[in-house]
Amino acid sequence: MGSTTSLPTFGRGNPHSNYTAAKRSASSAGTDKQHRKQQSSSSNGANSLARSKSCSNANFGKQQKQHLLQQQQQQNGGLESTVEPATNGSQWHKKQKQQQRLKNLQRPPANGGLVGLNNLGNTCYMNSILQCLSHTEPLLRHFVLERRFQPSAGRNGSGLAKAYANLMLRMWAASASPTGADCTSPTELKQCVAQYAPRFRGYSQQDAQEFLRYLLEGLHEDLNLVSVRPKLPPVDYEHLDLLLDDDKADELWQRYLQQENSPVVEAFVGQLKSTLECCHCSHKSVTFDPFWDLALPIPGKSRTSLDACLKLFTNQETLDGNERPTCDRCRCRRKCVKRFHLYRLPSVLVIHLMRFSGERFKTKLNTLVEYPMELDVSEFLD
Distances in whole angstroms, Cα of residue 207 to Cα of each of 34, 191, 216 = 94, 17, 15
Q: Give tens-digit pLDDT for 285-310.
A: 999 999 999 999 999 888 999 999 99
Q: Give tens-digit pLDDT for 115-165.
A: 899 999 999 999 999 999 999 989 988 888 777 766 655 556 678 999 999
Parallel, antiparallel, or unpaired for β 348-353 and 294-296? parallel
Phi, psi of 290 (to 5 degrees): -75, 150
* pLDDT score of 323 more than 80: yes
Nearest CA to 80 out of 180, 5, 163 is that of 163
Domains delineated in the chain: 90-223 (3.90.70.10), 269-380 (3.90.70.10)
What is the 8-class DSSP label of residue 41? H
Q: Give tens-digit pLDDT for 245-280.
A: 999 999 999 999 999 999 999 999 999 999 999 999
Per-residue confidence (pLDDT) for residue 285, from 0 to 100: 92
- What pTM did the predictor assign? 0.69
Per-residue confidence (pLDDT) for residue 56, from 0 to 100: 46
Q: Assign 228 a pLDDT band (cuts: 50, 70, 90).
A: confident
Instruction: Name the least confident of 10-19, 219-228, 321-330, 331-340.
Output: 10-19
Contact 84, 70 (CB under 8 A): no
For residues 284 and 274, what is the distance between their CA atoms, to the nearest angstrom?
A: 10
Report the DSSP beta bridge partners of residue 340: 274
Percent of the chain's residues with pLDDT above 70: 65
Question: Which H or E element spans position 277?
Answer: strand 270-278
Q: Give tens-digit pLDDT for 7-60.
A: 333 333 333 333 333 333 333 434 444 444 444 444 444 444 344 444 444 444
